[in-house]
């Protein structure tokens, strides 16, 4: 199994290198091009010389190379910090069943509370940190948020190691969530920088790819770190020494994820320069002459799912909420389905998560950017939701048709999960792209925080509600309902887009 995991990571790294070559076969950075009018270049796919808009700078005046390198370094640090921060979440996936066993929990609402405690605390942070970032800047908020996440994870590790009751662990997870808030603020930062560079969709796609890489590395790392305990036990059995407990292994795994968040905080603190936000008046001047902008332009003040700002924001938030119900159901109970239904162990669950994330990463680097650019964010969102909903319904069908004494086939579950993971990178960058087109720079943090808060409500409710359905009616009912709600989100997306085009 260890060789299997190493090969899986090796394959993913090869895919990453191939994707990077396809996207940028020439490693030279093109020189900056001076543009006369901001309005003529906002979101356009190509500039006057036929080069990608990524090589043109949207700031008035001549951009020096030093500022360009600072922005590149800042974006790289934001992407790296997003990867490291998400490691804490993805490493916890394979150990969730072990946490339930540690606290002697059966599959149900109590088991779902292990997943819902973090977003419950995060709901508070999402109302505070993004709005605060609009006033005092993105960098200090991201840095403090990542630092707080690392400290909260250390508290969780200490609770597990001391064998404290479940209530203490849930309180530590809720506190970690309350200190978190870097996700929507980092998206707002990339929007600030992407507005200047004309690369907003690309930056969001890259962030989604960085998060996907965390889903590749995190599960296998969490499974291997946890399973080191088994190898240590075998060695200690021969020496007659005292055997380590499960709580020590869980505590160590969570501590490793805490170290990743602390490293992410240091990266942002040392290497990110706060983006200077354009004033609302400047943005209006830049976008007021829409008749001169090419039809394929990525106009920021244009809501794809609404004729007004708040109509578009509300529509996108509703779709995002429905997706998060399905996504949180998957992450809360898929590992339990693999363990109880297919008989997979902790390390095997981690390896499977890694292989599935390779599929997601391949789609993210090779397909999502192309679809987002050619078909638009609405089509990318609808296609992604269709695949996600199909995967969830397939889980439900596999659980319903599986013989109780045998359980659902591992092959069927893997195929359904592959469909699910192919849809996530198509959906992922489409939502922030649609949202950030609706709002000016002075409100990006607040709007991204509002969307994240609504999503968090779904992540709080879903594991508890779906956990109870899982307990009473089985996995088929829980995953079937989650998939149906995701398809409702897809239908809402297409219907709202139809109404906007009809009005236009």
How far apart are the C-alpha atoms of 393 and 262, rounded to whole Å?
A: 38
Strand partners, 134: none
The pLDDT of residue 423 is: 92
Structurally, how many domains does the chain consist of? 1
Cα–Cα distance measured from residue 442 to residue 440, given in angstroms and rounded to the nearest whole number? 6
Cα distances from 28 to residues 25, 55, 499, in angstroms, run 9, 12, 44
pLDDT in tens, 214-268: 877 877 777 777 766 556 655 655 555 544 455 577 788 888 888 989 999 999 9
Q: Which domain holds residue 410?
A: 2-25+57-503
Task: Record the pTM.
Answer: 0.64
User: Residue 48 has what pLDDT?
Assistant: 34
Give the three-state DSSP class for 52: strand
pLDDT at 282: 44
Q: Please say whether the beta carbons of 392 and 487 come within 8 A.
A: no
DSSP 438: T
Does a structural domain hold residue 445?
yes
pLDDT at 107: 62
Q: What is the DSSP string of 168-227?
A: HHHHHHHHHHHH--HHHHHHHHHHHHHHHHT-HHHHHHHHHHHHHHHHHHHHHHHHHHHH
Residue 39 is assigned to a structural domain of this protein: no
Q: What is the DSSP letter of 292?
A: G
What is each CA distance from 314 to 306, 318, 319, 460, in whole angstroms? 8, 6, 9, 20
Please give the backbone phi and psi of residue 300, each rounded to the nearest 5 degrees, phi first.
-75, -45
Residue 345 lies in a domain: yes
In the DSSP assignment, the letter for residue 273 is: P
The parts of the chain modelled with pLDDT lower than 70 are 1-64, 93-94, 107-110, 112, 195-198, 227-247, 275-302, 346, 401-407
Residue 130 lies in a domain: yes
For residue 37, tell me if it sits in a domain: no
Interior/surface letters 293-320, b for 16+ CB within 10 angstroms, e for the rest:
beeebbebbbbbbbeebebbbbbbbbbb
CATH code, domain carrying 172: 1.20.1250.20
In a domain, 51, yes or no: no
CA 348 to CA 128: how far, in whole Å? Answer: 39
> Could you tell me if residue 46 is inside a domain?
no
């Amino acid at each position: 199994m260890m060789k299997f995991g190493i090969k899986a990571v090796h394959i993913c790294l090869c895919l990453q290198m191939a994707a990077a070559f396809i996207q940028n076969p020439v490693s030279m950075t093109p020189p900056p091009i001076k543009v006369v009018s901001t309005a003529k270049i906002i979101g356009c796919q190509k500039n006057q010389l036929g080069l990608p808009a990524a090589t043109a700078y949207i700031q008035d005046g001549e951009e020096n190379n030093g500022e360009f390198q600072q922005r590149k370094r800042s974006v790289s640090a934001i992407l790296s910090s997003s990867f490291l921060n998400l490691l804490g979440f993805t490493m916890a996936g394979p150990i969730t069943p072990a946490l339930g066993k540690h606290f002697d929990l059966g599959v149900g609402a109590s088991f779902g509370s292990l997943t819902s405690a973090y977003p419950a605390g995060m709901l508070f942070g999402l109302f505070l940190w993004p709005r605060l970032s609009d006033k005092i800047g993105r960098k200090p908020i991201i840095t403090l948020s990542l630092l707080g996440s690392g400290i909260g994870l250390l508290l969780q590790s200490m609770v597990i190691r001391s064998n404290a009751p479940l209530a203490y662990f849930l309180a530590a997870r809720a506190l970690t969530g309350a200190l978190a808030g870097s996700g929507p603020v980092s998206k707002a930062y990339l929007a600030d920088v992407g507005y200047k560079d004309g690369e907003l969709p690309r930056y969001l796609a890259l962030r989604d790819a960085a998060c996907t890489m965390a889903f590749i590395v995190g599960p296998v790392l969490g499974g291997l770190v946890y399973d080191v305990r088994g190898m240590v036990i075998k060695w200690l059995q021969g020496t007659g020494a005292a055997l380590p407990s499960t709580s020590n292994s869980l505590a160590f795994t969570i501590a490793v994820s805490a170290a990743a968040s602390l490293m992410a905080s240091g990266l942002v603190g040392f290497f990110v320069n706060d983006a200077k936000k354009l004033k609302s008046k400047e943005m209006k001047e830049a976008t007021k002459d829409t008749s001169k902008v090419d039809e394929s332009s990525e106009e920021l003040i244009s809501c794809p799912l609404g004729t007004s700002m708040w109509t578009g924001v509300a529509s996108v938030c509703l779709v995002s909420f429905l997706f998060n119900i399905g996504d949180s159901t998957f992450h809360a109970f898929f590992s339990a389905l693999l363990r109880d239904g297919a008989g997979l162990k902790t390390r095997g669950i981690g390896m499977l998560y890694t292989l599935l994330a390779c599929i997601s990463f391949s789609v993210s680097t090779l397909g999502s950017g192309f679809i987002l650019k050619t078909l638009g964010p609405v089509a990318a969102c609808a296609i992604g939701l269709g695949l996600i909903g199909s995967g969830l319904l397939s889980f439900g069908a596999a659980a319903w048709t599986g013989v109780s004494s045998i359980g659902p086939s591992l092959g069927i579950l893997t195929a359904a999960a592959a469909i699910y993971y192919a849809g996530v990178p198509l959906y992922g960058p489409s939502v922030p792209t649609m949202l950030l087109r609706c709002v000016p720079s002075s409100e990006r943090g607040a709007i991204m925080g509002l969307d994240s808060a609504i999503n968090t409500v779904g992540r709080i409710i879903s594991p508890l509600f779906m956990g109870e359905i899982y307990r009473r009616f089985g996995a088929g009912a829980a995953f079937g309902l989650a998939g149906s709600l995701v398809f409702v989100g897809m239908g809402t997306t297409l219907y709202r887009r139809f109404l906007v085009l009809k009005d236009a």
